[in-house]
Chain A
Amino acid sequence: MKLRPSIILLMIPSLLLVGCVKPMDYTTFRKYRPRSILVPPPLNESTEVAATYGYYTTVTRPLAESGYYVFPIAVIDQFFKENGMPTAYEMHQAPLKKIDEIFGADAVLYTRVKQYGTKYYIINSTTIVEVEATLIDVKTGSTLWENKTIHQVSSGDSGGGLIGAAVSAAVTQILNSSIDQAHAICPVANAQLLQTKDRGLLLGPYHPEYSTEQTVE
């Protein structure tokens, strides 16, 4: 079976359609260009208690691999708690002036977990993670970037014929070996949220393409 170029051409517009919800405005982001990002624990608006740390512990890697310095999440969390801010809600209220003074962070990524967890049905299950995120410049309080994503995986979903079934079976196996299935799909949700071209974060200073990143106007 040969792959014809026409197939590639057919795929491209559909990918573009999926990607282009609304063009992201990077003007303010480009103006301030943060080097470091502090992430307090997410506000958990889901019904699942495990969502807070199930999500929080997956956020460092995509930010660091995008080239940013990311403050150590567990140390930050502990530091807030020891300083009279026991919950994520209080940490999200911490004045930016204090964050600047105490941590010296350039930007704060505030995240909200809207949905998190697995719903079981008779023959299958659906795992879902929905997250919203806002990046704020610490010195000025300006919103640099915001985005949201929903990632959903269904165990009984065999759409796409044999290959689809095989992929779905593989995913199901991976998920079933993990206690917290939603935690296991957070990396994919984060990639969609933070690292998609034209919607994700701009690259940070530790990324090799930082200085050569093309301006997408």
Chain B
Amino acid sequence: MRHGLILLACLGLLTGCASRTLYSWGSYESQLYAMYSTPDSATPELQILKLEEDIQKARAKDHKLPPGFYAHLGFLYYQQGQRDLAKRAFETEKAAFPESTVFMDRLIARL
């Protein structure tokens, strides 16, 4: 049984290595969790700083940012009154994921 467990552990490791993630997630998920669980630690201002860092890191490695990332960032800019940056972020989301077009156009029209 112990052999079996070792084998399973090895298989797990192999599968883990074989599957590369499609996106560079950075702090996106932890920011989302923090904005709901401890809002003071994830104000729009603080989230923007972290997400802009994530963009730099992803660009340096030529990785893609996940669906929703730029839309979320755009919404934070909007909350901060930075409309030009918000619009640019919504456009970036739309260009990367055309599936977001209807919703992004709606958000841009509201700016």
Question: Count the B residues whose beta carbon is within 8 Å of the partner chain — how many?
Answer: 36
A65 at the interface (CB under 8 A from B): yes
With CB as the reference atom, state the residue of chain A lying closest to B23.
Answer: A64
Q: Is the CB of B37 within 8 A of A50?
A: yes
Q: Which of B64-109 contact A (CB under 8 A)?
A: 66-69, 71-72, 75, 93, 97, 99-103, 106-107
Question: Count the A residues whose beta carbon is within 8 Å of the partner chain — how many?
Answer: 45
Q: Which of B1-24 contact A (CB under 8 A)?
A: 1-9, 21-23
Q: Is the CB of B2 within 8 A of A161?
A: yes
Chain B nearest Cβ from A39, distance in angstroms: 10
B111 at the interface (CB under 8 A from A): no
Contacts A7-B4, A71-B100 aside, 15 further interface pairs with beta carbons under 8 A come to A8-B7, A58-B29, A60-B66, A61-B66, A68-B67, A71-B103, A73-B68, A74-B35, A103-B102, A104-B102, A105-B103, A161-B2, A161-B5, A163-B2, A179-B37
Which A residues are closer than 8 A to B by beta carbons? 1, 3-4, 7-8, 10-11, 35-36, 50, 53-54, 56-58, 60-61, 64-65, 67-75, 78, 102-106, 160-164, 179-180, 183, 206-208
